[in-house]
């Protein structure tokens, strides 16, 4: 009898092994990409919240009222994507006494989320006006 052309059992097993390894590698890549995308989205939202808070403080027309911005917000109004974020605003007054030659406030905004590995912190200084 003549041999039939085709794949042997060994060739099929080797091909399945190679295919399995490739699919597992692809699944790992997709999983890591999804995790990285999620982290980047959270980081971008946290950065946006910090910058928005600093811009709100900078737009204040009364220098003395800047101290009232020092609060911790656990519920941030706006987009539903802000759910779970906490924004803490710290105001430190430097100088300002009659004998001081400087008078400014250092504003630090710290945004956290339980899912993020590290908080986002933005700092600025506002001189007396």
pLDDT along the chain (129 residues), means of 10: 80 96 97 93 95 94 92 88 93 90 95 94 93
pLDDT of residue 15: 96
> How many CB atoms within 10 Å of residue 42?
19
Angstrom distance (rounded) from CA 54 to CA 93: 16
80-104: burial string, b at 16+ Cβ within 10 Å, e else: eebeebbbbbebeeeeeeeeeeeeb
Burial of 34 (0-12, 13-18, 19+ CB in 10 A): exposed
Residue found under tokens 């339980």: 114
Give the global pTM: 0.78
pLDDT of residue 1: 66
According to DSSP H, which parts of the chain are helical? 9-58
pLDDT of residue 96: 83
């Amino acid at each position: 009898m003549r041999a039939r052309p085709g794949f042997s059992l060994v060739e099929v097993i080797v091909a399945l092994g190679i295919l399995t390894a490739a699919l597992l590698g692809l699944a790992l890549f997709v999983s890591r990409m999804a995790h990285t995308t999620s982290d980047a989205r959270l980081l971008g939202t946290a950065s946006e919240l910090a910058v928005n808070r600093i811009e709100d403080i900078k737009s204040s027309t009364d220098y003395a009222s800047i101290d009232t911005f020092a609060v911790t917000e656990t519920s941030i109004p706006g987009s539903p994507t802000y759910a779970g974020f906490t924004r803490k605003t710290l105001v430190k007054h430097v100088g300002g006494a009659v004998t001081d030659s400087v008078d400014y406030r250092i504003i630090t905004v710290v945004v956290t989320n339980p899912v993020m590995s590290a908080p986002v912190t933005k700092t600025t200084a506002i001189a007396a006006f």
